[in-house]
Structure 1
Amino acid sequence: MSTAAVHLATVADAAEIARIQQVTWRAAYAELLGPAALDTLDADELARHWREAIEHPGSDVYLALEGEFAVGFCAAGQAPEEEIAAADGTLPADAARTGLISTVLVEPRWGRRGHGGRLLAAAAAGLRERGAERGVTWAAQSDPASLAFFRGAGWHPDGTVRTLDTGERTVRELRLTGSLDLRLHD
């Protein structure tokens, strides 16, 4: 039986994180994003982006492993004001104590093995260590798997929506929020 683990990513992991993003987006989000958006994914550019994210102070990127294989990743940090503001621009009272989970991706062939939960729990613990008490994330309204994943962790839509333009399609996203006091259950 392979051992599953999560660790903080290093710059050396950036290319593998980029690979996971490309594979996952092509497999799971092709309909959502459209072929033109997927065709713009460049491995070198993605790896450069992930190197910068890994080195960015105040944020963490986590890598999930099954045995020797990198199977997923998660990025988290202090929530920027624009990610937590209400539609009128007002900030919640706990803005300074709110973390952002900007992405949780697990390569589809490694799904349903608990990697997403381990990644989210590790990111939540890291955010708590930085003083955050609550988390937010965004998920496409048309992505039932991601919505169910976060709902399973006790996170729910807070009524805020945004629309992203992929250049080919628009994607309506729901903001979800929940406690960072997450515990994994067998």
Structure 2
Amino acid sequence: MGVRAARLEDVDAVTSTQIRAWKAVYRDFLPPIPLEQMTGPAAEKMWRRQWEEAILSPPTPRHRLLVAVERVVPDTDAFTALGPGGILATAAQRASDRVVGLASHGPAEDPDLHPATTAELMTLLVDPNHIRRGHGSRLLNATVDHLREDGYNTVVTWVFADNHPMLGFLESTGWGEDEAERVLDMGRPIRMIRLTTDIS
């Protein structure tokens, strides 16, 4: 298990992880039609393009996409596969990383914040089949490490007010509401609140 920078070959896995996580968590408080618009086939294509751009040409060097991975070892005889040049490859050598979570961040964009000192955690998602294994904490810690290296001392993030699992997780790690909020029209008003934490 670990966290690393996303690679181009991760785009499909990142997109599918995002869609699965949204469907699992957001169905409890978002209306069905907007959720379908956010996670349906057309939206999936759009997200795939956006994640590809985030990896290949981020807006700034301070924009990053990180992925949480689990090492997958094939459940086969350790010495049945031939590697390059006909050399026997062990199962460990044929192991691969499975993307099970993602986090993205960049300079804060809200007009009341200074983008040189305040960053925004834009995405923090873990595949619903891989929760409670520490991936969220590892992603958050890796994000904070990068942001400190970039000279940030504060991080904010926007969370749906009814996303109680995310609110509980962030509050348990030292985040708190800063009184900013926004209301989205999704057939009915959906409230979002901004959380902040000091990483200096």
TM-score range, shorter chain: 0.7 to 0.9
Identify the residue that residue 19 of structure 1 maps to in structure 2: 16
Structure 2: 5+ residue stretches without partners: 72-96
Superposed CA offset, 1:5-41 (max 9, x none): 0001122212111100111111111132222123223
CA contact (8 A) 1:60 1:77 kept: yes
Alignment match, 1:172:
191
Aligned residue type for 2:3: V
Which residues in structure 2 correspond to 1:1-186 (within 5 Å)? 4-40=1-37, 41=39, 42-54=43-55, 55-56=57-58, 57=60, 58-67=62-71, 68-82=97-111, 85=112, 91=113, 95-166=115-186, 168-180=187-199
Aligned-residue CA RMSD in angstroms?
1.6
Residues 15 and 43, structure 1, Cα contact 8 Å, conserved in 2: no
TM-score by length of 2: 0.78
Gaps of 5+ in 1: 86-90, 182-186
> SS of the residue aligned with 1:96?
coil
- Between the aligned partners of 2:115 and 2:178, the Cα distance in structure 1 is 14
Using the alignment, how far apart are the partners of 1:12 and 1:19 within structure 2?
13
Letter of the 1:65 partner, please give it.
V
Identity %: 34
TM-score when scaled to structure 1?
Answer: 0.84
> Quick one: which amino acid aligns to residue 136 of structure 1?
V
Aligned residue in 1 for 2:80 = none
Inter-partner Cα distance in structure 1 for 2:54 and 2:199? 21
Are the aligned partners of 2:181 and 2:193 in contact in 1 as well (CA < 8 Å)?
yes
Say how many residue pairs are matched.
Answer: 168
* Aligned AA (1:159): E
